[in-house]
Amino acid sequence: MSEDDRVARAADAIYHIGKNRIVEILQMDIPGDILSKIVAIISQVSFGRLEDSVVLQLLVSENDSVRKNSALKCVQSFSKDRLRTILASYMNPDERRFYNVIYWLDFGVSSTKEISARVAGNIFSEILAPDLD
């Protein structure tokens, strides 16, 4: 079994065991590669119910994949108004910011919901697709 398979299985197991306690899972000390897969797996409805403070913590993660998947999940799950709010909060000059988060949140705010959700969905399909090699 490859390392990618192990990561995917671990993320899937953690998510399915605790999917009714998403906030607790997202705040656990989980390796970034597993956490980024968990973020990709979370349903749009569940992600959309997260408090802004939880989402903002994901968007400042040290792990690039966690930040990217979290920003894409925001684009996929949030209304344009909520995306604007998250982007404005994220741009606080007193906090650390990452370009990839700004890029994806701005993409969600700037494009139609249909296009931005489709792009995010396509990226998640690639992330979650089984490795055919």
Segments of the chain scoring below 50 in pLDDT: 132-133
What is the pLDDT, as a whole number, of residue 130? 61
Determine which helix (DSSP H) or strand (DSSP E) holds 115, and give its type and residue range.
helix 113-128
Residue 92: inside a domain: yes
What would the two tokens of residue 118 be?
A: 């489709």
Full residue range of the structural domain in which residue 66 is found? 3-128
Task: Look at the chain and report how many structural domains it folds into.
Answer: 1
Residue 9: inside a domain: yes
Residue 107: inside a domain: yes
Residue 8: inside a domain: yes
DSSP code of 111?
Answer: S
Q: DSSP string covering 27-81, please?
A: TS---HHHHHHHHHHS-HHHHHTS-HHHHHHHHT-S-HHHHHHHHHHHHHHS-HH
What is the pLDDT, as a whole number, of residue 95? 79
Q: Is 112 helix (H, G, I), strand (E, B) or coil?
A: coil
Question: Contact, 77 vs 106, CB < 8 A?
Answer: no
Residue 88: inside a domain: yes
What is the pLDDT, as a whole number, of residue 92? 84
Whole-model pTM? Answer: 0.91
Residue 133: inside a domain: no
What is the pLDDT, as a whole number, of residue 96? 81
Cα–Cα distances (Å) from 94 to 42, 73, 74, 90, 91, in that order, read 30, 24, 22, 10, 9
Residue 122: inside a domain: yes
**CA–CA distance, 2 with 10 (Å, rounded to integer):** 12
Please choose, from the candidates 133, 120, 99, the residue with its C-alpha nearest in 3D space to the C-alpha of residue 39: 120
What is the pLDDT, as a whole number, of residue 133? 45
What is the pLDDT, as a whole number, of residue 5? 84
Residue 7: inside a domain: yes
What is the pLDDT, as a whole number, of residue 129? 79
What is the pLDDT, as a whole number, of residue 128? 84
